[in-house]
């Protein structure tokens, strides 16, 4: 170890060749358009100089290519917020101009084209803009996107590949549409390509990546005048092992186990060595060097407690226990009172702790668990802001498609009608202005979104694995004046979040390697079900790989097993429905022996249906695992490949039917609710080893669970035991208090006294009597609370105070339906 921490400056950076290269190929004037609140566009110019880890990564990768040639794989694990977009841009340009220094190909380009693939449709333009801004000649870079595509994107991309355009930028969603067009063109034979995958996860480790290699390996199919189906099958198997003409550069902050196995490298030939990243810049190093912030330093967790009740026990019914619990949790999460309480916490925290930071430009993100939840958050947010008169606090909401929520409005909700002030502007650019302070999201902008002014995040969604790291890392960007972040979490256990971060705090490591022979076990299990005959698999595969056969042949061979599955499924459903009907009759008749016999009949019928459900799940597992493991292990097994292509076409044809009856929650109400701040803490990331990533060690282990039916009222009691906690009191009642408040709101004198007097003054007027009258008038099923109010002065005073506070909080004594 060198005695001087700055030794790298004169030993590496200031070496003449390196320094001149940095000046000539890295130094860059970045120009960005910034939209002001009044709509004016101003240009912001920044001189970009590479950070050491960026220069080191690009230099190491270029040296790797010079040493190994084409056909290798490189996994780059760089922390979120470390500047991956610029690293990719520098790597693109230098790979595109890399030439062989000597040998037979001296002077020739190493790669005909560099293809950059991002799997984030929403954010692809952000990466594209970064690459496109670097110095380039006309025609050197092609961006395949909706805005710039002339004609179809498929034909445009095929043409760019044939033209050997230096850099081609696409999304992973675009690529599958052009595979066939490229495959039919022999002009790509013997070409070499560099594939750069941004955030290399499932989309680059599955069938699309494999198809890409097949398409770009036309040399395997063009040596013969007469190409047979077997030739194509052999080429497909060869493509799974990779091509010596295609190099992969996979960038990610959070590599999954599959990503490490596919793109990682073993440091030595020992059996116990496991694949590792080629270049690493860890979260720990980035935090210590000040390039990103530690988002776990200011972590506040909340607890939510509530009680639910059935309003009419005479209409109680048996329902599927597991599904009812799931529906009740969703119902409680979407309950207007739950969302209103959280919105109040969010807005008041933002106003008092966040808004003034960064010279008043600080921003926040609210992460919701569903699109419907995002819609209701937006409506509740706007309502609270209007009632409180916080006119300058504005939120935008981001989600895909339409949300049909009749309880909130008659028409479907979209980004367009919920964000009327956007007027077609790009959401990222509009959020960067002073016009918006908060962004409400549902599965959008949770990865790759780069907004340095984000200071706070309010989490109302369960976060696990990579999703947890990527989402919270939106906060870690630095900017002038930003030295702290806030996380308010309504859902997750802080210790669980800390464990997720430990996995990627330093170098991601595998616990072991996936077991390839599992694919044979699942192949045997699928064959035992009798849904297909092996000759049907081979006939379909022969037709699929035969370039002379058409789609009609494929349909003819796939139809018999699909029909066989459908027939068995219909028969199993009919038997199950009949058995369930007999069981209901036996229960009503009360004959124990007959009831037990019917129960056995229902169980046998369920097992018949479950075996078919399991077959479909296992077939999907086989396809996914084979697509992955065959890129690592050279099986050279025609039967595995035949079953794979057969299964991919059969799977969409296997239709299932759910017997679940709709669960009516109309008679369920929330009686108590309490949102409580637990604690604010620093979740400390230590320097010791992180959690290991688990490889695939078992597949096809799905076992259907026997459904359990219970009375809805019993399920509500179980839910209350789970979610109510021990500290709920009568003061936390929701429904009863809401009824009283609504009744008091009909009294004009009481409303006027609340609006124009302090609580102490209101208690001296007609207000207490108005509350008592409202209690008497609304007496019903909540009889115990009514009597407590009328008989206990302490309870009476507490309730009157709560009613005043609720009416005051809603603004001018007016309260809407909670």
DSSP character string of 436-475: --EEEESSSSSSS---TTEEEEEEES---HHHHHHHHGGG
User: Are 412 and 541 in a shared domain?
Assistant: no
**How far apart are alpha carbons 415 and 428 in whole angstroms?**
13
**How far apart are alpha carbons 83 and 14 in whole angstroms?**
22
Residue 307 pLDDT level (bands cut at 50, 70, 90): confident
Question: What is the average per-residue pLDDT within 504-519?
Answer: 91
User: Are 151 and 256 in a shared domain?
Assistant: yes
User: Are 155 and 260 in a shared domain?
Assistant: yes
How much is the pLDDT for 178? 44
How much is the pLDDT for 186? 66
To 5 degrees, how large is the angle CA 428–CA 433–CA 434? 140
Query: What's the pLDDT tens digit per position in 345-380?
Result: 999 999 999 999 999 999 999 999 999 999 999 999
Taken in order 146, 149, 155, 160, the sign of the CA dihedral is negative
Residue 550 pLDDT level (bands cut at 50, 70, 90): low
Number of domains in the chain: 5
Going by their DSSP bridges, the two strands 193-198 and 246-252 should be labelled as parallel
What b/e string do you get for 193-206 counting C-beta neighbours within 10 Å, with b at 16 or more? bbbbbbbbbebbbb
Closest by CA to 216, choosing from 251, 250, 242, 177, is 242
How much is the pLDDT for 240? 65
Checking if the pLDDT of 704 tops 80, the result is no
How much is the pLDDT for 694? 85
Closest by CA to 489, choosing from 467, 459, 462, is 459
Q: Locate all alpha helices (DSSP H) within 241-370, ordered by sequence.
A: 257-263, 283-288, 321-334, 336-349, 357-360
Checking if the pLDDT of 453 tops 90, the result is yes
Q: Assess if residue 5 is contained within a domain.
A: no
User: Are 41 and 109 in a shared domain?
Assistant: no
136 φ, ψ to 5°?
-155, 155
The better pLDDT of the pair 308, 281 is held by: 281
How much is the pLDDT for 458? 98
User: Are 388 and 242 in a shared domain?
Assistant: no
Residue 195 bridge partners (DSSP): 115, 248
User: Are 128 and 149 in a shared domain?
Assistant: yes
Checking if the pLDDT of 181 tops 50, the result is no
Boundary (domain end) residue, out of 723, 744, 762: 723
Checking if the pLDDT of 563 tops 90, the result is yes
Contacts of 83 (CB under 8 A, 6+ apart): 51, 54, 291
Query: What's the pLDDT tens digit per position in 256-266?
Result: 898 898 889 98
Question: What is the average per-residue pLDDT within 689-697?
Answer: 80
How much is the pLDDT for 780? 57
- DSSP-derived secondary structure letter, 401: S
Q: Assess if residue 225 is contained within a domain.
A: yes
How much is the pLDDT for 665? 80
**How far apart are alpha carbons 179 and 236 in whole angstroms?**
14
**How far apart are alpha carbons 553 and 90 in whole angstroms?**
49
Query: What's the pLDDT tens digit per position in 787-816?
Result: 667 767 777 777 787 788 777 766 543 333
Boundary (domain end) residue, out of 667, 699, 723: 723
Question: What is the average per-residue pLDDT within 626-640?
Answer: 86
Checking if the pLDDT of 547 tops 70, the result is no
Q: Assess if residue 452 is contained within a domain.
A: yes
Checking if the pLDDT of 124 tops 50, the result is no
Q: Assess if residue 289 is contained within a domain.
A: no
**How far apart are alpha carbons 608 and 487 in whole angstroms?**
49
Residue written as token pair 């999201």: 441
Residue 706 pLDDT level (bands cut at 50, 70, 90): low
Checking if the pLDDT of 225 tops 60, the result is no
The better pLDDT of the pair 129, 260 is held by: 260
**How far apart are alpha carbons 749 and 403 in whole angstroms?**
41
| Least confidently predicted of 210-214, 469-473, 535-539, 695-699 | 210-214
Run of H or E including 251: strand 246-252
User: Are 360 and 476 in a shared domain?
Assistant: yes
DSSP string, 634-649: ----HHHHHHHHHHHH
How much is the pLDDT for 299? 96
The better pLDDT of the pair 93, 712 is held by: 93
How much is the pLDDT for 606? 86
Residue 166 pLDDT level (bands cut at 50, 70, 90): confident
User: Are 646 and 695 in a shared domain?
Assistant: no
Global pTM value: 0.82
User: Are 44 and 59 in a shared domain?
Assistant: no
How much is the pLDDT for 285? 93
The better pLDDT of the pair 291, 210 is held by: 291
How much is the pLDDT for 815? 39
Q: Assess if residue 286 is contained within a domain.
A: no
Question: What is the average per-residue pLDDT within 598-603?
Answer: 85
**How far apart are alpha carbons 125 and 145 in whole angstroms?**
8
User: Residue 628 has which token pair?
Assistant: 């992955």
**How far apart are alpha carbons 69 and 35 in whole angstroms?**
45
Closest by CA to 465, choosing from 214, 201, 279, is 201
| Least confidently predicted of 181-185, 322-326, 618-622 | 181-185
How much is the pLDDT for 19? 92
Q: Assess if residue 7 is contained within a domain.
A: no
571 lies in which domain range?
Answer: 519-653
How much is the pLDDT for 807? 77
How much is the pLDDT for 816? 37
> What whole-number percentage of the chain has pLDDT above 70?
79
**How far apart are alpha carbons 540 and 553 in whole angstroms?**
8
Query: What's the pLDDT tens digit per position in 46-87?
Result: 888 899 999 999 999 999 999 999 989 999 999 988 888 889
**How far apart are alpha carbons 120 and 447 in whole angstroms?**
8
Q: Assess if residue 109 is contained within a domain.
A: yes
User: Are 111 and 217 in a shared domain?
Assistant: yes
Residue 320 pLDDT level (bands cut at 50, 70, 90): confident
Q: Cβ distance 96 to 167 under 8 Å?
A: yes
Query: What's the pLDDT tens digit per position in 4-49?
Result: 888 888 999 999 999 998 888 888 777 777 766 666 788 888 888 8
| SS3 assignment, position 1 | coil
Taken in order 67, 68, 70, 72, the sign of the CA dihedral is negative
User: Are 711 and 737 in a shared domain?
Assistant: no
Q: Cβ distance 168 to 114 under 8 Å?
A: yes
534 φ, ψ to 5°?
-65, -35
Q: Assess if residue 28 is contained within a domain.
A: yes
Query: What's the pLDDT tens digit per position in 322-342?
Result: 778 888 888 889 999 899 999
Run of H or E including 431: helix 427-431
Q: Cβ distance 95 to 141 under 8 Å?
A: no
Q: Cβ distance 365 to 458 under 8 Å?
A: yes
User: Residue 327 has which token pair?
Assistant: 């529906």
Closest by CA to 113, choosing from 165, 67, 54, 59, is 165
Residue 204 pLDDT level (bands cut at 50, 70, 90): very low
Going by their DSSP bridges, the two strands 28-35 and 246-252 should be labelled as unpaired
Query: What's the pLDDT tens digit per position in 268-296?
Result: 766 678 999 999 999 999 999 999 999 99
Q: Cβ distance 141 to 96 under 8 Å?
A: no
Mean pLDDT of the chain: 82
User: Are 140 and 257 in a shared domain?
Assistant: yes
Checking if the pLDDT of 561 tops 90, the result is yes
Dihedral (Cα; 581, 586, 588, 589), 10-degree rounding:
140
Taken in order 152, 154, 157, 158, the sign of the CA dihedral is negative
Question: What is the average per-residue pLDDT within 654-680?
Answer: 80
| Least confidently predicted of 167-181, 632-646, 647-661 | 167-181
How much is the pLDDT for 774? 81
Checking if the pLDDT of 443 tops 50, the result is yes
Q: What CATH number should be reported for the domain holding residue 365?
A: 3.40.50.300
Beta strands in 484-578 (DSSP E): 486-489
């Amino acid at each position: 170890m060198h005695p001087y921490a700055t030794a790298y400056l004169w030993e590496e950076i200031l070496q003449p060749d390196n320094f001149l290269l940095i000046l000539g190929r890295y130094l860059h004037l970045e120009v960005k358009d910034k939209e002001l609140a009044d709509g004016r566009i101003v240009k912001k110019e920044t001189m970009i100089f590479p950070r050491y880890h960026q220069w080191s990564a690009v230099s190491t990768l270029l040296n790797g290519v010079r040493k190994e040639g084409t056909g290798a794989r490189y996994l780059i694990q760089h922390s979120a917020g470390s500047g991956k977009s610029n690293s990719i841009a520098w790597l693109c340009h230098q790979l595109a101009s890399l030439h062989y220094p000597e040998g037979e190909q001296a002077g020739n380009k190493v790669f005909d084209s560099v293809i950059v693939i991002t799997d984030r449709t929403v954010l692809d333009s952000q990466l594209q803009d970064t690459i496109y801004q670097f110095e380039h000649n006309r025609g050197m870079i092609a961006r395949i996107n909706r805005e710039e595509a002339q004609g179809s994107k498929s034909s445009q991309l095929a043409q760019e590949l044939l033209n050997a355009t230096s850099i081609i930028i696409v999304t992973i969603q675009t690529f599958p549409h052009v595979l066939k067009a490229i495959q039919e063109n022999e002009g790509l034979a013997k070409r070499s390509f560099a594939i750069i995958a941004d955030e290399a996860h499932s989309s680059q480790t599955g069938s699309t990546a494999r198809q890409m290699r097949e398409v770009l390996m036309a040399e395997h199919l063009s040596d013969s005048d007469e190409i047979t189906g077997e030739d194509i099958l052999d080429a497909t198997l060869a493509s799974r092992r990779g091509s010596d003409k295609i190099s992969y550069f996979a960038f990610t902050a959070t590599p999954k186990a599959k990503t490490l196995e596919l793109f990682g490298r073993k440091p030595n030939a020992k059996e116990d060595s496991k694949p590792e990243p080629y270049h690493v810049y860890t979260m720990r190093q980035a935090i210590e060097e000040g390039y990103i912030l530690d988002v776990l330093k200011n972590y506040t967790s909340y607890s939510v407690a509530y009680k639910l009740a059935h309003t009419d026990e005479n209409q109680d019914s048996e329902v599927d226990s597991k599904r009812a619990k799931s529906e009740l949790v969703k119902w409680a999460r979407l309950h207007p009172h739950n969302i209103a309480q959280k919105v109040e916490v969010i807005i008041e925290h933002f106003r008092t702790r966040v808004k003034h930071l960064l010279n008043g430009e600080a921003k926040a993100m609210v992460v919701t668990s569903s699109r419907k939840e995002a819609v209701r958050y937006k409506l509740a947010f706007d309502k609270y802001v209007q009632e409180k008169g916080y006119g300058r606090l504005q939120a935008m909401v981001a989600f895909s498609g339409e949300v049909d929520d009749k309880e909130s409005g008659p028409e479907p909700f979209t980004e367009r009608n919920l964000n009327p002030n956007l007027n077609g502007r790009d959401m990222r650019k509009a959020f960067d202005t002073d016009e918006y302070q908060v962004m409400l999201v549902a599965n959008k902008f949770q990865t790759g979104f780069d907004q340095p002014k984000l200071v706070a995040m309010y989490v109302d969604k369960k976060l696990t694995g990579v999703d947890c790291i990527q989402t919270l890392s939106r906060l870690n960007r630095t900017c002038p004046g930003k030295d702290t972040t806030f996380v308010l979490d309504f859902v997750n256990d802080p210790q669980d979040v800390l464990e997720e971060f430990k996995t990627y705090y330093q170098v991601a490591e595998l616990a072991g390697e996936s077991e390839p022979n599992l694919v044979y076990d699942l192949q045997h299990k699928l064959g035992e079900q009798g849904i297909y005959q092996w000759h049907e698999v081979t006939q379909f595969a022969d037709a699929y790989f035969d370039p002379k056969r058409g789609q009609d042949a494929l349909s003819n061979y796939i139809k018999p097993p699909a029909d066989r599955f459908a027939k068995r499924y219909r028969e199993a459903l009919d038997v199950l429905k009949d058995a369930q009907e007999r069981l209901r009759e036996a229960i009503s008749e009360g004959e124990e022996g007959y009831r037990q016999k019917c129960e056995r009949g229902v169980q046998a019928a369920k097992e018949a249906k479950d075996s078919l459900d399991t077959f479909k799940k296992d077939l999907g597992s086989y396809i996914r695992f084979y697509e992955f493991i065959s890129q690592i292990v050279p099986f050279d097994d025609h039967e595995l490949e035949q079953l794979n292509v057969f299964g991919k076409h059969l799977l969409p044809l296997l239709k299932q039917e759910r017997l679940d009856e709709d669960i009516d929650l109309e008679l369920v109400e929330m009686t108590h609710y309490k949102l409580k701040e637990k604690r604010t803490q620093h979740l400390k990331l230590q320097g010791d080893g992180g959690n290991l990533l688990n490889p695939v060690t078992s597949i096809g282990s799905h076992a259907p669970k026997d459904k359990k039916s219970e009375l809805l009222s019993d399920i509500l009691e179980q839910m209350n035991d789970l979610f109510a906690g021990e500290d709920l009191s009568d003061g936390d009642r929701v429904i009863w208090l809401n009824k009283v408040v609504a009744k008091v709101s009909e009294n004009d004198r009481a409303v006027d006294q609340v609006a124009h007097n302090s609580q102490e003054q209101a208690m001296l007027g007609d207000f207490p009597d108005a509350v008592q009258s409202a209690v008497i008038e609304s007496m019903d099923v909540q009889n115990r609370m009514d009597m407590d109010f009328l008989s206990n002065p302490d309870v009476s005073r507490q309730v009157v105070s709560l009613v005043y506070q609720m009416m005051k909080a809603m603004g001018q004594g007016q309260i809407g339906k909670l």
